[in-house]
Amino acid sequence: MNRRLLIALSALSLLAASSAEAQFTTVVAPPKKAVDQAAVQEQQRVARAEADSSHRATMQEMSAWVDSVAGAPALGSVVADSAAGAVVMDSATASRVSEPATTRFQDGARAPNTASPLPLLLLAGIGATLLGLGVILTSRRAVPAPVRRRRAP
């Protein structure tokens, strides 16, 4: 009897699942809060001030100083700038930002990259070759010569 009751309850719950789900998952939206105009205006004012270079000047220096201590590059680009209207990057920060090598003349460009890895590679190659030769010679000397046995008379 209990088994039949259990099967019946299971079948009932399966059949009623969709309607039950609808019942339990319905969300009653709370009434909208009244918009706090003062808070919104304050938020917009802070955002504008943060994007303004004249406001950020001291913060930029502070940020560059912290980054220089931490050894991380700092980007100082400013958008929507009311004072300059262009990308502003202090010289100390600009010198640390990795840029592509100069391949064409441009006023204010850095000197072309003339560093070459060839001397280092050549030296490393010669060193590795000499090391390898040394290992080979040493291992040959370490092998004992075969001992010849005299035949008994």
Estimate to the nearest angstrom the gap between the alpha carbon of 127 and the chain centroid. Answer: 36
Q: Output 24 or 105, the one with its CB closest to another protein.
A: 105
Applying CB under 8 A, which part among 34-42, 56-64, 113-121, 145-153 lies near another protein? 113-121
Nearest by Cα to 90 from 71, 67, 121: 67
Element (H, E) at 40: helix 37-51
Q: Does the protein bind another protein through residue 110 (CB under 8 A)?
A: yes
Number of neighbouring beta carbons within 10 Å of residue 81: 16
* Of the residues 66, 79, 84, 126, which one makes contact with another protein according to CB under 8 A: 126
Q: Does 77 bind another protein (CB under 8 A)?
A: no
- Main-chain dihedrals φ then ψ at residue 49, nearest 5 degrees: -65, -35
For another protein, which residue of 31, 107, 142, 153 counts as binding (CB under 8 A)? 107
Decide: is 99 part of the binding site for another protein (CB under 8 A).
yes
From 105, 146, 148, 151, residue interacting with another protein (rule: CB under 8 A): 105
Q: Which CB, 41 or 95, lies closer to another protein?
A: 95
CB of 102 to another protein, least distance (A): 7
In angstroms, give the least distance from the CB of 124 to another protein: 6
Distances (CA, A) of 145 to 30, 115, 140, 141: 96, 51, 10, 9
Q: Does 109 bind another protein (CB under 8 A)?
A: yes
**Cα 144 from Cα 146, distance rounded (Å):** 6
Rounded CA separation 103/140 (Å): 52
Do residues 65 and 92 make contact, with C-beta atoms less than 8 angstroms apart? no
User: Residue 75 interacts with another protein (CB under 8 A)?
Assistant: no
Q: Which residues bind another protein (CB under 8 A)?
A: 94-97, 99, 101-116, 118-133, 135-136
